[in-house]
Structure 1
Amino acid sequence: MADLIEVTRDGRGVATIWLAREDKHNALSAQMMQELEAEAKALAQEDGVRVVVLAAKGKTFCAGGDLAWMRAQFDMDAATRRTESARIATALGALYDLPQPLIGRLQGNAFGGGVGFASVCDVTIGVESLKMALTEVKLGLIPANIGPYVLARMGAKNAREVFMNAKVFGADEAVRLGLLSRAVPFEDLDAAVEAEIAPYLSCAPGAVRDAKRLIRDLAGGVTQAQVDLAIDALAARWETDEAREGIGAFLDKRPAPWAQ
């Protein structure tokens, strides 16, 4: 089975986590989330890694949930589905808990879980042409597993504009909402990411980690109680008639009954 997450390291202490499922637009699957969690936890233990970059191969950063994974969850019992869907929250948590600075490199569109990935980064650079959206409500679901991290990133005031309407928005709007730190032309993306990496490499690695921890301690980071609440909220929504109708329509490639 091919690896869906790849990690590269350079001699400066910069590690890059690559979403490597470009043939599926880096859509989230159970295997992908397991690999991502394991790689993030391993990097957290590497003292020689000073900065981590989260990137993706192909044209799309992340298209959201995988169709086959969603179809499989559709047929699971409630308890199994809760455990399965929580893999996304667990993988995001491993990224969020990285002691090193995490820089997001968004070379393309980010939908659903892709917005969650952008949200756990300390700095997120995206291309000017990208589109983003929290599309879950179109399916009768809610952006719950990613919710604590999205809210921590953009705040409740900004989240109200895009969290519950599935609106597609561009890079400039993502910057205004706080999901992106900066938007740059595609040809400038790598240089912009390097410009974010360079300052950390002139700082004491331990001090950088302690400074990141202090931000969480002072500002109040995402808690396990919040993550559990979000997982339970999604599990409950899966049991509704709306979710069954919406996901069924999506799988059958037909409009949901509420679509106008």
Structure 2
Amino acid sequence: MSVEEITAEDGPRERILAATAKLLSEGGQEAVSTRAVGAAAGVQAPTIYRLFGDKQGLLDAAAAEGFAAYLSDKTGLEPTGDPIEDLRAGWDLHLGFGLANPALYLLMYGRQRPGATPPPAAVAGTEILAAHIRRIAEAGRLRVTEERAAQLVHAAGSGTTVTLIGQPEGQRDLELSMLAREAVIAAITTGAPAAETPGPVGAAVALRAALPGTEALTEAEQALLREWLDRIARSQ
């Protein structure tokens, strides 16, 4: 919602968040102050403090709204028969959101504080990425652990996006994203199902992905087997 779309029926929280998003889009984080937000939303500063605590709380809420907007696009992607192509599509969608919403993206990904609890939408985004990686593992195409693969994709994808945001819009080297994406995919996947590749690592990764579908083991036995398989997968 933009400031122009605010109506009398909108509550103060909605008006404040819309005003914050508008100020972020126009001037970045430096443009966001309680005075500017209050003037744009038609509320007094005490209302902002009551709803969000302080400016940091307001920015955190704006980041949560940003994740929710991003997820509304990402969850609309229909899985295909090729999980690696789906990962490519997810990467490109992530980049496109960042370039279309640079100030919001930097708020979402450039201000993460160690130990801070991520917003629910951020957790949901992590789960979507994990699901992409799980499908690759189930297809026998993952060469590293699911956790390492997800961390690498997240780190490379967000880092590439932040780098491109920092380049002048008319001079952005979009090929950088393609090169980074393909380098990550090459690092975490195999050219053929891992089960067809000799060696224990690929077999361990594939079996680890299939564990949730088995009922032959108790929960404790599954936990122990996961630990062993993870150890094998990390041994390469």
| TM-score, with structure 2 as normaliser | 0.28
Structure (1/2) with the larger strand percentage:
1
Structure (1/2) with the larger helix percentage:
2
Larger Rg: 2
| TM-score, with structure 1 as normaliser | 0.26
